[in-house]
Amino acid sequence: MKTRIRELRTSGGMTQQELADMVSVSSRTIISIETGRYSPSLMLAYRIARVFNISVEDLCCLEENRRLDDETDDS
C-alpha cells in the first residue's frame, strides 16, 4: 500500500525514529511502511495521521490505492 508517510515526515524535518517514538512503534516499523513492505493497521494509520494533522484517507492515498487495486482486478 502506498502512503505519504515518508513525504510528510521528511518535509516536517522528522527522523524515522522521532515519528516512531511519537506513535509508539519501532523505527523498523516506520521503515517497513515507507518502503511498502508493511501496511499499517488502521489504529497505527490513525495515530500517524494525527501527527501530521491529516485524514487517514489522505495519509494512505486511499483513492490512488483503490484505483490501482481496481486495475489489478481488471487484469
Alpha-helical regions (H) of 1-75: 5-11, 16-23, 27-34, 42-52, 56-59, 62-74
Of 2-6, 30-34, 61-65, least confident by mean pLDDT is: 61-65
Query: 41-62: per-residue pLDDT in tens?
Result: 999 999 999 999 999 999 988 6
Give residue 74's pLDDT.
73
The pTM of this model reads 0.83
d(C-alpha 57, C-alpha 52), whole Å: 13
